[in-house]
Amino acid sequence: MATKAPTTDIDESKVRATRTKGVSVGVPAVLHALEIANEQMGVRRSVAALLRVNQKDGFDCPGCAWPETDKRHIAEFCENGAKAVAEEATLRRVGPEFFAEHSIDELRGHDDWWLGQQGRLTHPMLLDEGETHYRPIAWDDALRLVADELRALDDPNEAVFYTSGRTSNEAAFLYQLLVRGLGTNNLPDCSNMCHESSGSALTETIGIGKGTVSIEDVHSADLLIVAGQNPGTNHPRMLSALEKAKERGATIVAVNPLPEAGLMRFENPQTVRGVLLGGTKLADQFVQIRLGGDQALFQAIGKHLIEAEECEGGILDHAFIEEHTSGFAAYRDAMAAVPWPELVAATGIPQKTLRRVAERVRTSSATIVCWAMGLTQHKHSVATLREIVNVLLLQGNIGRPGAGLCPVRGHSNVQGDRTVGIYEKPSAAFLDALDAEFAFSAPRPHGFDTVGAIRAMRDGAVRFFMGMGGNFVSATPDTAVVEAVMADVGLTVHVSTKLNRSHVVTGRRALILPTLGRTDRDRRAGADGTVREQRVSVEDSMGAVHSSRGRLAPPADDLLSEVAIVARLCGMLFGDGAAPDDSPRHAGDPERGLPERTPSETADGPDPAAARHPLDIPHLDGAAADAPDPAAPRHPLNVPHADWAALEADYSLIRAHIENVVPGFDDYETRIDKGGTLFLPNGPRDQRRFATPDGRARFTVNALEYPRIPRGRLLLQTLRSHDQYNTTIYGKDDRYRGIHGGRRVVLVNAKDIQALGFADGEIVDLVSEWTGADGVTQERRAQEFRIVAYSTPRGNAAAYYPETNVLVPLDSVADVSGTPTSKSVVVRLERRG
Ligand SMILES: Nc1nc2c(c(=O)[nH]1)N[C@H]1C(S)=C(S)[C@@H](COP(=O)(O)OP(=O)(O)OC[C@H]3O[C@@H](n4cnc5c(=O)[nH]c(N)nc54)[C@H](O)[C@@H]3O)O[C@H]1N2
Ligand SMILES: Nc1nc2c(c(=O)[nH]1)N[C@H]1C(S)=C(S)[C@@H](COP(=O)(O)OP(=O)(O)OC[C@H]3O[C@@H](n4cnc5c(=O)[nH]c(N)nc54)[C@H](O)[C@@H]3O)O[C@H]1N2
Ligand SMILES: [Mo]
């Protein structure tokens, strides 16, 4: 039997710190996962669910985006994947009775753990203006409310449409079409806070915003550098791949301020060696770098390689550099000029050690660099990642077996969402293809990214917010600011599986639209009444697309899938017709006479009044009576045309559209059939082709940057514990780091604790200090954190997200990518009065 949801919040006074673990995963991890699974789902459902994770006829694990190998284990999941499944497939329910019982004020008082643990959402709920409780609303009424609100906007750019990265390709593609059909590119997503820096740096330098390795490359690499990543917790299946590489002779270097257990030693629960022999030592070298020191580390490697080339030669791949790159001479000169003492100061690592890492690169026959949030969430992240590209280009380590760039993505379909158009800065080629396919003209001006959207809310320019999954309020920086600006939005709409903070910190009116998750069976009825079971598809971190089909009974009978929700909204807003006869369905056809949209849209648009007037939709409150002639047809010109009801009933029709719009999806349906994998083309990896303006991969020169920590202050990184999935808190422990029973801890070097005049175990406030462009220093406070002495470089500290998001200033973002600097927040510890 599954157990009841918790009735109280985490009691933070109970938090304890023990010794950290030197080993990760192993049998205890599997047992822990099964315990959580049984607690949430009961034994039978646990078995049914867990045996289908990542199997060819099963569902894609909603955990991370690490790829599966072609030969699957019976249990192709990890402890944290099992927790992600249990969290979604839980038997606990949050229905109308729950909302009748708990007022919004009460819910707001609870922590993220309590909210998330209550169970799956089962019914659409409306929080009306001034009301104290959510109340149930029928699906049709809820969707009409959304459509009405959208039509009532003066300008489509007053609406913001967020996406988290679990949404399937099919739902994401339809969603971006809805948004562009309305006339805006306001499509911020979780990527903006995650791997945006990777996308920015890679697009500029190699012409594609994705990595260049396959899982086989990881297995056959000679050297793997894993920087700014904690795979033992966040990508546990990656450890099996690292183990395999090691068995084949690879060397692994871990670059991290913290000695993360997963990187040190790994007990594979799927092998005898892992279970009985104490596992594999993974990292051959652990480089305990200062926060933000990685640009300097990769400059040091580049400098060493160039120096070695000058002394002995034969180190750089001159043929590759000559044929495929530009900018080498400038980079070489810049590296010659950068002083070693500066590189040592930035990294906090002696020159000898830096050279030892560089020697490993020099002697490696094939090098892969893997990274995640430790490298993407700093002010100079894009420069840091460009520096990694520089180092790999020197030895021709892109586009050959066992070598390349490996940004390890977070959400299980965050990469796929971007591929099918979730992007606030879409390319002209994508929009042209979209226009052609749906006989309309998508808006060209860029939309808001995540931080841009919050700033626009702050400026009062946003009247509508919709979240396709995710937890915008908790995941974004500067929590107090975000909570305040949300209140001014007219309507906030969340398509969600579980209750979270974004449902209780809302706009003036709020809607919760519950939806199916990955594990749920998805059956849709067509116009003729036939019910078809649907599958969706997702893309992993290495550009491999495959299908995913849930098998479990969904939490409520009438739950709509994300696809169905969006398809119905499209039907309400755009009518359900195919393209009008006089509207040719081909892009680039200057004759087709579709009006182009302009940045300020309305004035010169296609009769804007017609486009947004509540003409042809039924009304909840009888307001329709006042609307102009309801019989008048909506302007058929500038909206996308498709048979929305058919798309809702058969997702393969959506895939057919994707195939026509996005390059690389040829024979989509057949290739993902029967557990097949569709590998999206990747120019740099497959052919050493670089889609940059001159067709070459670019060496870049980047002035060295690293954080300067003021006296008496610490640089705080905000990171994940072992018992959470982003803002979803599974439990109260961070087992590998030895933290138990609570989350409000700050990990500090013992010498800093002493030097700052505190004691291990003391309770302090964290106060962030940020000097904005206006020269004024602002303070932000997170209360009551317990100091824990921990192995981290002097001057550096760590604490969990999202409790610390209140400390991250909205305006502190990475250059170029705009990603919040969640891994470098200047703080002081303050004794509580
Ligand atoms: N179980 C579980 N799995 C997840 C998630 C989850 O929350 N739970 N989240 C998913 C998502 S969306 C993402 S993006 C990924 C996140 O995966 P990770 O990036 O592994 O997540 P973080 O916890 O942010 O860990 C950052 C790591 O980088 C290190 N680090 C911080 N700053 C620096 C630096 O300046 N230099 C270097 N070299 N290292 C640094 C930290 O010490 C830590 O080990 O995981 C995905 N998978
Ligand atoms: N300080 C700090 N802030 C950070 C980070 C950090 O390291 N430090 N990391 C950033 C990163 S990398 C990321 S990716 C973002 C994450 O930001 P988000 O993606 O917005 O946050 P999540 O916590 O993953 O969202 C969880 C919610 O998604 C909903 N959900 C789960 N599965 C589904 C589904 O299948 N469909 C739908 N519709 N809803 C679903 C549930 O209701 C759940 O409550 O946070 C960012 N914020
Ligand atoms: Mo992420």
Asked whether 147 and 156 are in contact (CB, 8 A), the reply is no
**What's the mean pLDDT when you consider all of the chain?**
89
101-121: pLDDT as tens digits? 999 999 999 999 999 999 999
Rounded to an integer, the average pLDDT of 141-160 is: 98
Rounded to an integer, the average pLDDT of 315-333 is: 98
Quote the ligand 1 centre to 408 CA distance (angstroms).
Answer: 10
588-639: pLDDT as tens digits? 333 333 444 433 333 333 333 333 333 333 333 333 333 334 343 334 469 9
User: 94-191+414-687 belongs to which CATH class?
Assistant: alpha beta
Asked whether 297 and 357 are in contact (CB, 8 A), the reply is yes
Question: What's the CA angle centered on 352, arms 351 and 357, to 5 degrees?
Answer: 95
Spatial separation of the C-alpha atoms in residues 608 and 155, rounded to whole Å: 9
CA-closest candidate to residue 522, choices 496, 498, 548, 495: 548
pLDDT at position 616 is 31
pLDDT at position 70 is 61
Between 7-11, 148-152, 374-378, 746-750, the lowest mean confidence (pLDDT) is in 7-11
Closest-approaching ligand to the CA atom of 819: 2
CATH tag, 196-411 = 3.40.228.10
Where do the CATH 3.40.228.10 domains begin and end in the chain? 196-411
Ligand 1 atom closest to Cα of residue 792: 42
Between 66-80, 233-247, 654-668, 767-781, the lowest mean confidence (pLDDT) is in 66-80
Better-predicted residue by pLDDT, 35 or 369 = 369
Spatial separation of the C-alpha atoms in residues 528 and 646, rounded to whole Å: 10
Query: Would you tell me the crossing angle of helices 340-347 and 351-363 to the nearest 10 degrees?
Result: 100
Tokens found for residue 449: 């990214």
Residue 550 vs residues 165, 563, 770: alpha-carbon distances, Å: 17, 14, 46
The preferred substitution site among 20, 32, 53, 64 for testing ligand 1, maximizing ligand atoms within 8 Å of CB, is 64
Q: Judge whether residue 82 has pLDDT over 90.
A: no
According to DSSP, the β-strands at 285-287 and 125-127 are unpaired
pLDDT at position 286 is 95
Quote the ligand 1 centre to 201 CA distance (angstroms).
Answer: 19
Spatial separation of the C-alpha atoms in residues 562 and 536, rounded to whole Å: 11
CA-closest candidate to residue 505, choices 717, 725, 720, 727: 727
Q: Judge whether residue 357 has pLDDT over 50.
A: yes
The H-or-E segment that residue 533 falls in is strand 531-533
Spatial separation of the C-alpha atoms in residues 782 and 827, rounded to whole Å: 10
Task: Answer positive or negative: Cα dihedral of 440, 445, 446, 452.
Answer: negative
Quote the ligand 1 centre to 372 CA distance (angstroms).
Answer: 6
Instruction: Find the residues whose C-beta lies inside 6 A of ligand 2.
Output: 116, 164, 166, 190, 193-194, 373, 410-411, 468-472, 475, 495-498, 500, 515, 517-518, 562, 718-719, 726-728, 801, 804-805, 808, 822
In the block, tokens 């409150």 appear at 621
pLDDT at position 606 is 34
Q: Judge whether residue 453 has pLDDT over 50.
A: yes
Where do the CATH 2.40.40.20 domains begin and end in the chain? 714-831
For residue 659, the tally of other CB atoms under 10 A from its CB is 16
Q: Which pLDDT band holds residue 76 (cuts at 50, 70, 90)? A: low
243-301: pLDDT as tens digits? 999 999 999 999 999 999 878 776 666 555 554 555 677 899 999 999 999 999 999 99
The H-or-E segment that residue 511 falls in is strand 509-514
Rounded to an integer, the average pLDDT of 74-98 is: 83
Closest-approaching ligand to the CA atom of 718: 2
The preferred substitution site among 720, 734, 800 for testing ligand 1, maximizing ligand atoms within 8 Å of CB, is 720
Q: Which CATH architecture has domain 714-831?
A: Beta Barrel (2.40)
Q: Judge whether residue 668 has pLDDT over 70.
A: yes
Better-predicted residue by pLDDT, 600 or 643 = 643
Taking CA atoms only, the protein residue closest to ligand 1 atom 31 is 374
* Interacting residues of 405 by C-beta distance below 8 A, sequence separation 6+: 202, 206, 211, 212, 213, 368, 369, 388, 389, 392, 398
Tokens found for residue 266: 């790994």
CB-count exposure of residue 4 (10 Å: 0-12, 13-18, 19+): exposed
Q: Is 374 in the pocket of ligand 1 (CB under 6 A)?
A: yes
According to DSSP, the β-strands at 159-163 and 464-468 are parallel
690-710: pLDDT as tens digits? 999 999 999 999 999 999 999
Quote the ligand 1 centre to 230 CA distance (angstroms).
Answer: 5
CA-closest candidate to residue 412, choices 517, 513, 495: 517
Q: Judge whether residue 576 has pLDDT over 70.
A: no
Quote the ligand 1 centre to 78 CA distance (angstroms).
Answer: 17
Q: How far apart are the first and last CA of the chain?
A: 46
Q: Is 64 in the pocket of ligand 1 (CB under 6 A)?
A: yes
* Interacting residues of 100 by C-beta distance below 8 A, sequence separation 6+: 133, 135
Q: Which pLDDT band holds residue 81 (cuts at 50, 70, 90)? A: confident
What is the value of pTM for the model shown? Answer: 0.92
